[in-house]
Amino acid sequence: MKVFADANILVSVVNKEYPLFPFTSRILSLAGTLDFSICTSPICLAIAFYFAEKKVSAPAAKEKLRILSSRLDIATSGPDTVRSAFADPAALDFEDGLEYYSALEAGCNCIVTENKADFHFSRIEVVSSEEFFERYLHIRK
């Protein structure tokens, strides 16, 4: 299964934000396992860097994201992604449109985010980190 990790998932991991961290860190740790491929986009990494550098120094934030991104698949955000995000009238937030079309073009089966309503227009499954656990790892809180 190919899973797209939204920016808020990355932020919760690099900043160790509770109560999400136990869920989000476990999801990202699935990267490269036999059953899961975890994907994100350059934009999500940039957003995560922005929030991480507010908590730690810029060099420390960059190192955290370098390590994290070395385990993840990175989706593209090229001209087709941008055009699709602009062309979709249901994608009210441009950044969410970019994330969605990056996930779609990367062949992701679902998007994991803590802001499910942002992807109301999605044609692929959108779940929270806790829902992902319950649905795919059969672990309940």
Predicted confidence at residue 26, as pLDDT, reads: 92
**Distance between CA atoms of residues 28 and 39, nearest Å:** 9
Predicted confidence at residue 77, as pLDDT, reads: 85
Structure confidence by residue, pLDDT tens digits, 78-122: 999 999 999 999 999 999 999 999 999 999 999 999 999 999 999
Please state at what angle helix 42-55 crosses helix 7-14, rounded to 10 degrees.
Answer: 30
Per-residue pLDDT band at 141 (split at 50, 70, 90): low
Q: What is the mean pLDDT of the chain?
A: 93
Burial profile 14-33: b = 16 or more Cβ within 10 angstroms, e = fewer? bbeeeebeebbeebbebbee
Range of the domain at 18: 2-137
CATH number of the domain bearing residue 101: 3.40.50.1010
Structure confidence by residue, pLDDT tens digits, 64-83: 999 999 999 999 889 999 99
From the number of C-beta atoms within 10 Å of its C-beta (0-12, 13-18, 19+), residue 44 rates as buried
**Distance between CA atoms of residues 106 and 99, nearest Å:** 11
Decide: 21 and 58 in contact? Cβ < 8 Å: no
In the chain, the number of structural domains is: 1
Answer whether residue 51 shows pLDDT above 80. yes
Please say whether the dihedral angle defined by the alpha carbons of residues 49, 26, 67 and 78, taken in this order, is positive or negative: negative
Predicted confidence at residue 127, as pLDDT, reads: 97
Predicted confidence at residue 64, as pLDDT, reads: 93
Closest CA to 95 of 107, 104, 82, 105: 82
Polymer length in residues for the chain: 141
Quote the DSSP letter at residue 35.
S
Answer whether residue 140 shows pLDDT above 70. no
